[in-house]
Amino acid sequence: MMRAAFLGAPGRLELADFPVPEPGDGQVLVRMELASICGSDVHSVYGGFHNPVEMRRPGYPGHEGVGEVVVSRSPLIGEGEKVLTLPVGNVGGCFGEYQLLRDSQVVGLPPGADPARALMAQQLGTTIFAMRRFTADRVTGVAAVIGAGSAGLFFLQQLRALGFGPIVVSDLNWQRLQVAGGLGAAVTVQAPGHSLASAVQEASGGAGADLVVEAAGYDSCRAEAIDALRPSGTAGYFGFPETDGDAPFPAFRAFRKSARIEWVSGAQGEPGLRSFRQAVTRIGDGSIEVGYCLRDIYPLEQLPRALEIARDQGHGAVKLTVAIGHRAAGSGS
């Protein structure tokens, strides 16, 4: 038997014991060590975005995890290999002691890789995938990032590496903005009391931003991205939709600016999981810093509470990690 969290009802995550699944051809069984909470998990549990078919399935909706392959029915992956697990979010199963996956849903980790740091390659991989779209025809320029969670701070680091600047970062939380400043944000803006658009105008000499990345997931932030753009600038929308249905959008303002608008999703469907493999490499070689994501770790039994904290802006933490292997005692705060 294994211990796992599950969505017992909309808005209610529970824990119970379940049979350990048996892999079939082309599948692997992974003994999970760590998982992390994504903003989309919060939407799935509390926002009505859950997959009804997955209700009560062990490990759902977690989709960011690392662990060790203990049974392999695939010639591509050996038993004993440490892997980053990459299920599609709406069928994720990372919040349990074991997870069954197709061999196309894992990426091997280098020998000796720190599992906690490697775990961040899931979120980083999605942002690498997105940045290819957002910067397809932009070389450098003034940039802004809305949201200083793990995704927003990964975007910040990539923008700096590409030569964008100055970069303005906004968030609701001052602790996260402190991290952004340490990672090279030229200007930080604490919402809602201060205006991102005004800060961008000042930083750009009145021109506006060449690229605004929205990584918070609110309709107001998507509108704010348009306000901060220069004419013909790009608004890159990464944040999860706020509602399941139509949403308000400043279409006329976007029209007047001839804004280029890019939505992005589906990184797990990329051939060869290229972006995630690059993420593992970039964390390993230190070109992307992730240490600030590792502050708060909760044991699996405290996952329901950790998810509530994630809903409340993480209480200042950039990322929340769940210790799953061996039912480890955590250091959650």
The pLDDT tens digits for 28-45 are: 999 999 999 999 999 999
pLDDT computed for residue 326 by the predictor:
53
Residues in the chain: 333
Q: Estimate to the nearest angstrom the gap between the alpha carbon of 206 and the chain centroid.
A: 32
Instruction: Residue 161: name the closest of 184, 181, 182 by CA.
Output: 184
CB neighbour class for 194 (10 Å; exposed up to 12, middle 13-18, buried from 19)? exposed
Which domains occur in the chain, in start order? Answer: 2-120+290-327 (3.90.180.10), 127-267 (3.40.50.720)
Q: Structure tokens of 307?
A: 């998810």
Identity of the amino acid at 291 = G
The residues near 120 (Cβ < 8 Å, ≥ 6 apart) are 36, 150, 279, 283, 290, 293, 319
Q: Estimate to the nearest angstrom the gap between the alpha carbon of 147 and the chain centroid.
A: 12
Residue 314 confidence class, pLDDT cut points 50, 70, 90: confident
Contact 126, 151 (CB under 8 A): yes
pLDDT computed for residue 137 by the predictor:
75
Encode pLDDT of 155-183 as tens digits: 999 999 999 999 999 999 999 999 999 99
Encode pLDDT of 270-312 as tens digits: 999 999 999 999 999 999 999 999 999 999 999 999 999 999 9
189-to-129, 179, 207, 223, 234 alpha-carbon distances in Å: 26, 13, 18, 16, 20
Under DSSP, the state recorded for 208 is -
Give CA–CA dist 305/102, Å, rounded: 30
pLDDT computed for residue 229 by the predictor:
97
pLDDT computed for residue 88 by the predictor:
84
Residue 200 DSSP SS3: helix
Give CA–CA dist 54/56, Å, rounded: 6
Contact 161, 139 (CB under 8 A): no
Instruction: Give the other-Cβ count within 10 Å of 328's Cβ.
Output: 15
Kindly tell me if the per-residue pLDDT of 204 is higher than 80. Answer: yes
pLDDT computed for residue 127 by the predictor:
98
Q: What's the mean per-residue pLDDT of the chain?
A: 94
Could you tell me which residue, 314 or 155, shows the higher pLDDT?
155
Go through 92-129 and write b for each residue having 16 or more CB atoms within 10 A of its CB, e for each that does not: bbbbbbbbbbebbbbbbbeeebebbbbbbbbbbbbbbb
Per DSSP, the residues of 44-86 read HHHSS---GGGTT-TBTT---EEEEEEEE--TTS-TT-EEEE-
Integer-rounded Cα Rg, in Å, for the chain is 20
pLDDT computed for residue 313 by the predictor:
85
Encode pLDDT of 105-164 as tens digits: 999 999 999 999 999 999 999 999 999 999 987 668 999 999 999 999 999 999 999 999
